[in-house]
Structure formats: C-alpha cells, structure tokens
Amino acid sequence: MGVFIIVEGKTDSTKLKSIFPDIKTIETSGSGITKEKLALIKKISLNNKIIIFTDPDYPGQKLRQIISDYLENNCLHAFISKNDAIKGKKVGVAEASEIAIKNSINNLISFSNQPVDNLLWSDYINLVDSKLKREKIIKYYNLMPTNNKTTFKWLNYMNVKKQDLIDILKEKQWRNKTKKCVPKG
C-alpha cells in the first residue's frame, strides 16, 4: 500500500518532493476540482492511503471538504497554520518551511466515517466562548483556522470529547503533544 498526497498545484508538489523525494502527489490544479480528478483519487484510494494537504485558506479548506466528503472521510489530513505558510504575499503549502511541512505530515488527523456526538454544541459553545479559546483548540490539533461551526464539526469527526477540551483549555501554554484524536480501529 502506497501513500499519495493531494495538493493544489505544481509548486506544492515540488516543495513536498524536495523534502520527501519518494513521495507521490496528485495535483488538483488549484482550488477547483473536476469529477474526473475526484474519480481518479477515489480509484487510487482503494489501494493506497490518501493524505489531503491543502493551503490554509478558504479555497484550500473548501477543496479539502469536497475531497474528504467524496472519499467518505477515508483519508488523512495534514494541516498547516497560515502563519507557517506565508512567504511574502503568498500563502500556501509551497511557501511553508521544511520544518512546518514535516510537523504537518507527522501530525496527521483522521476524521471518523461516523462521528459520535461526543461533544454537544451547547458544551462546545459554553467551553469555547471566545475566539482566543477557539484558536487555542485549533492550534492544539494543528487545524486550519475556521469558524465555530466547522471547528465543532471537525472535533466531532475526530471524536474529541468534552473533557479533552477542558484539559486543553486548562493548560497554561500549548505544547506539541501526540494527538489523541485519531479514532481506534
């Protein structure tokens, strides 16, 4: 079984191959994706692991959602923060440092095919009652910045529990830890 990383463009592929020479990538040719490209990714996913590694912006997030939904969440996600992916006026995977890319690849996240509502919306809103707290949660799990609704959805896909959020928010300073979010089995 091989591994394919889905990226938006050639410069993303070039950057990843400069760090991981044997890596295989599939380029979506930007934030749009054709039905043919989705079908190709689905076919490749039958015998290979798929990692979605899109730019930390709205088009990248939208593309990630389209591909993940098409694959019924049968894929892994590499996230990179916008701050780690800025070079000049450009934002993207190709602009990120080698260290930031390796950190993203080493902290892959999977979404459950059938998320369990471990976290209720009311609990989430009561705990994460400010942008600062949401950003702390996003940073802890190395997710892309999103609104409350998307963050809540992703946390449930990752089977994050209320107590996990309580523990994260209690920490004085965020530390890079092994993620407890990859579902078993």
* pLDDT computed for residue 114 by the predictor: 64
Supply the DSSP symbol for 41.
Answer: H
Question: Is residue 180 very low, low, confident or very high in pLDDT (cuts 50, 70, 90)?
Answer: very low
Is residue 133 domain-shared with residue 103, that is, in the same domain?
A: no
Is residue 105 domain-shared with residue 122, that is, in the same domain?
A: no
Is residue 48 domain-shared with residue 130, that is, in the same domain?
A: no
Q: Which of 62, 94, 110 is the last residue of a domain?
A: 110
Residue 39 has pLDDT above 90, yes or no: yes
More confident site: 9 or 184 = 9
Is residue 17 domain-shared with residue 61, that is, in the same domain?
A: yes
Q: Which of 110, 129, 157 is the last residue of a domain?
A: 110
The CATH number of residue 35's host domain is: 3.40.50.140
What are the φ/ψ torsions at residue 101 (nearest 5 degrees)?
A: -65, -45
Of 19, 14, 176, nearest to 92 by C-alpha is 14
Is residue 80 domain-shared with residue 130, that is, in the same domain?
A: no
Segment 134-149 shows an average pLDDT of 87
* pLDDT computed for residue 89 by the predictor: 87
Containing domain of residue 158, as a range?
A: 114-185
Average pLDDT, the chain: 85
pLDDT per residue over 50-76, tens digit each?
Answer: 999 999 888 998 999 899 999 988 899
Side-chain-side CA neighbours of 70 within 13 Å: the count stands at: 22
Question: Is residue 172 very low, low, confident or very high in pLDDT (cuts 50, 70, 90)?
Answer: low
Cα 68 to Cα 76: distance, rounded to the nearest angstrom: 9
Q: Which of 77, 110, 143 is the last residue of a domain?
A: 110
* pLDDT computed for residue 141 by the predictor: 85
Is residue 106 domain-shared with residue 124, that is, in the same domain?
A: no
Q: Which residue has the tokens 């830890």?
A: 177
Is residue 128 domain-shared with residue 106, that is, in the same domain?
A: no
Is residue 56 domain-shared with residue 98, that is, in the same domain?
A: yes
Which ranges of 46-97 would DSSP assign to H, the alpha helix? 58-70
Q: How many domains does the chain have?
A: 2
Segment 82-103 shows an average pLDDT of 90
Residue 149 has pLDDT above 50, yes or no: yes
Residue 183 has pLDDT above 70, yes or no: no
